[in-house]
Structure 1
Amino acid sequence: MPKMDQVVIEVRDEIRRLRAGRGVFTTNLIDRLGPRLQAWCGTHHDSSQLRSTLTQRLLTSAGALSSDRQDALVVSLAIDPEVEHLVRFKDRVDHLAAQLAVSARTALRRIESAETELAGEIAAESAGATASGHFVKSYYVRQYQAIVDNTGAHGNPATVSVHQEREIVCVQDRLTEIPIRFEIPDHPDTAEPLFTARVQHGGRLRSQRRLSPTGFELTLSLPSAIAQREAHRFALSFVFPAGLIRAHHVITGEVQIQRYRLIVKFHPDHLPAWIRKVDGEDIRTLDAFARKAAAPPGAFPLDAVGEAHLEFRRLAPHLAYGFQYRWADSPGSLG
């Protein structure tokens, strides 16, 4: 049997052991967790912290599954507040069966199918040696769309516009704000940022600060507190001086991103010499490609109107996804 298949079976069995009794609310949670799940969410001797971490990680990983699979899991593991009072797994199976208008046997089969799918997600994350402590744990991104408009990069003023829209799903109850972090390595050391940022919908910009010589953070206040498993959409728009923007646009997420759609636009009179897809690379590899005059592997053409449409699914945190290009002629600068 392949090693990954064996890991999936072991994780699945540990999930099934967890569902007994009060599920994630069992009093001896640290003893109930098997070695795979302990390693996955980190060792926490504080049971309250372990329960919170485990619940958030389970919900985040289950976000890759269909909604009916997610519903089955939150009931079976007692994560759903509606079943917290049901102290026996059998009672929660009956609850799910009544919800779905099916037999208890069918409800149990659906739970077991969801457990196997979730085990596959957890096994894949574990194989990637993902350091969970480095992630934002309060939400994951179900969909993320960005439009990067380079059509004004040779104008006067020379600018690059970026429009972003995210749909997030909360895994920590009563989420009220979202940090948005990004890097601009070539931004000069000025008192005020040289770019502008606006919230188009779904929140209000509460603060903006510089975290480091290259890093910035925006804090977005949400219209109201978001409940666990609730979704929320918001959109931001940025305008950058073209001289600040390196010849790529990539994201290296600190949260789990299920789907990322990217549209890039160039002016028909100022097309790049080449453009390539960046799909799960170490950010440092972009520097090596930037020096290539000829089109590197993975290069692709723009369409007839100077656009490209890219899509990525189930992005690995801290790896780069997006596109890189090389200008045939230099864009505007900061002077």
Structure 2
Amino acid sequence: MNVSATDLVGELKLLRKGRGISVVQLGPRVGEAMRAAFGITGSDDTAEIRRKLTESLVGLAGSLPDDLRTAALAAFGLHEQARHPFLQARVGWVAKALDRDERTARRRIDEGIQRIAELAVSAQNGQSEPAYPSRSWHTEELRVALALDQQVPEVFEVRRVVADADDIEELDLAVTLTNAGKRRETMVGNDLEVDVFYGGRLAEPVMESSERFGLMLRLPKPLARRARHDIALRFRAKLRHPHYVCVPRHPVDLFDLHVKFPRSVPGAIVKLENVFQDDARDPAARGERLTANESGEVHVQFRNLAPGFAYGVRWEPADVS
């Protein structure tokens, strides 16, 4: 069945009503367009339908801008902080989360649903293309754990790269590490320690700006086109501003970030997505508010990162009242 985005939008708008994805009688909400787009068959029971819808919607929403993803997931009742039993309550939550009025929140929800439908139809028709094509290499997965409860903050990074050309011999890596401090000082070589656990040999870091290190990783052997390669690194640095962001030079399909705060958990934690690097340190830069769990941790994911833009987390220093 050929699915049109218009038909799929109509069915998705019906799905968002009431309890959304958690509605008890889910089957009658699922029309022919959703069944075709999300691989739902006549033999699927309610639990399987719910699983397929959840995985499909969350996956497609992952490539949307932060505000549209938040709005769409909340509308369907898929956002963990917006599982209210009525759509109107979820719209109100979106308005607060985005710092907008409810009319604007509804527009963001509609825009998010429209984009999800377009992506689903493109994928079904085999028209999906990389969001940011690369001529050399790109990162398929970047998984990072940032420990702020250490004497010197530590970052553990596991990355899987894919060669988009033949004879890729080295990787120029780019991750921004900073923390609290109002003065703009020049970093020096001993401000950053890097250990390679596996996957290559690191050349001497080179200062590329007053705050940015160039890190070149020499691979054990050249990669052929479409070859995958895993690396693991550890960074230690005294951060200068209260944020951690990844600013990729090459496309990144998935960035998974865990941040563990010390016992004095910040009062305000904000998710930053697709912002200018200098805006990451600006308290006025808006983003989704996050809440640390009982262990003082937050977990965020980003998909289809645009090279040159910042993605990560900003927090308010514990001593700020």
Instruction: Report the TM-score when normalising by structure 1.
Output: 0.53
Conserved? CA contact 1:207–1:218, under 8 Å? yes
**Separation of aligned partners in 2, 1:301 and 1:322:** 14
**Separation of aligned partners in 2, 1:284 and 1:213:** 13
Instruction: Identify the match of residue 192 of structure 2 among 178, 190, 195.
Output: 195
Relative to structure 1, the CA distance from residue 230 to residue 264 in structure 2 (aligned partners, 3 Å threshold; closer, same or farther) is same
Query: 2:146 aligns to what?
Result: 148
**Separation of aligned partners in 2, 1:190 and 1:315:** 26
After superposition, residues 1-335 of structure 1 pair within 5 angstroms as 116-117=125-126, 119-121=127-129, 125=131, 137-152=135-150, 158-183=151-176, 188-189=185-186, 192-241=189-238, 244-268=239-263, 270-289=264-283, 298-329=288-319
Q: Which has the larger radius of gyration?
A: 1
**Separation of aligned partners in 2, 1:206 and 1:238:** 15
Give aligned pairs, total: 198
The structural deviation recorded for 1:305 is 0.6
SS of structure 1 residue aligned to 2:191: coil
SS of structure 2 residue aligned to 1:264: strand
- CA offsets per residue over residues 189-242 of structure 1, 9 Å max, x none? 47633221110111111232112222211111111111110000001111112x
Relative to structure 1, the CA distance from residue 245 to residue 313 in structure 2 (aligned partners, 3 Å threshold; closer, same or farther) is same
The structural deviation recorded for 1:297 is 5.7
Relative to structure 1, the CA distance from residue 188 to residue 231 in structure 2 (aligned partners, 3 Å threshold; closer, same or farther) is same
The structural deviation recorded for 1:252 is 1.9
Conserved? CA contact 1:261–1:310, under 8 Å? yes
Match of 2:274, as an amino acid?
G
Conserved? CA contact 2:173–2:249, under 8 Å? no
**Separation of aligned partners in 2, 1:290 and 1:239:** 28
**Which consecutive aligned stretches of 4+ in structure 1 deviate over 4 angstroms post-superposition?**
113-116, 182-191
Relative to structure 1, the CA distance from residue 288 to residue 179 in structure 2 (aligned partners, 3 Å threshold; closer, same or farther) is closer
**Separation of aligned partners in 1, 2:284 and 2:195:** 30
SS of structure 1 residue aligned to 2:174: strand
SS of structure 2 residue aligned to 1:286: helix
- CA offsets per residue over residues 126-159 of structure 1, 9 Å max, x none? xxxx7x8xxx73101110001111002xxxxx41
Query: 2:102 aligns to what?
Result: none
**Separation of aligned partners in 2, 1:180 and 1:223:** 16
The structural deviation recorded for 1:320 is 1.7
**Separation of aligned partners in 1, 2:254 and 2:287:** 24
Relative to structure 1, the CA distance from residue 299 to residue 148 in structure 2 (aligned partners, 3 Å threshold; closer, same or farther) is same
Conserved? CA contact 1:290–1:326, under 8 Å? no
Conserved? CA contact 1:247–1:327, under 8 Å? yes
In structure 2, runs of 5+ residues without a counterpart are: 6-62, 64-121
**Separation of aligned partners in 2, 1:307 and 1:198:** 24
The structural deviation recorded for 1:285 is 3.2
Conserved? CA contact 1:137–1:255, under 8 Å? no
The structural deviation recorded for 1:282 is 2.6
Relative to structure 1, the CA distance from residue 191 to residue 164 in structure 2 (aligned partners, 3 Å threshold; closer, same or farther) is closer
**Separation of aligned partners in 2, 1:250 and 1:189:** 19
**Separation of aligned partners in 2, 1:272 and 1:182:** 23
SS of structure 1 residue aligned to 2:220: strand
Relative to structure 1, the CA distance from residue 313 to residue 216 in structure 2 (aligned partners, 3 Å threshold; closer, same or farther) is same
The structural deviation recorded for 1:114 is 8.1
In structure 1, runs of 5+ residues without a counterpart are: 6-63, 65-112, 153-157, 331-335
Give percent identity, aligned residues only.
25
Relative to structure 1, the CA distance from residue 190 to residue 141 in structure 2 (aligned partners, 3 Å threshold; closer, same or farther) is closer
**Separation of aligned partners in 1, 2:176 and 2:270:** 21
Match of 1:168, as an amino acid?
V
- CA offsets per residue over residues 35-82 of structure 1, 9 Å max, x none? xxxxxxxxxxxxxxxxxxxxxxxxxxxxx9xxxxxxxxxxxxxxxxxx
Instruction: Report the TM-score when normalising by structure 2.
Output: 0.55
**Separation of aligned partners in 2, 1:246 and 1:277:** 15
Conserved? CA contact 1:278–1:322, under 8 Å? yes
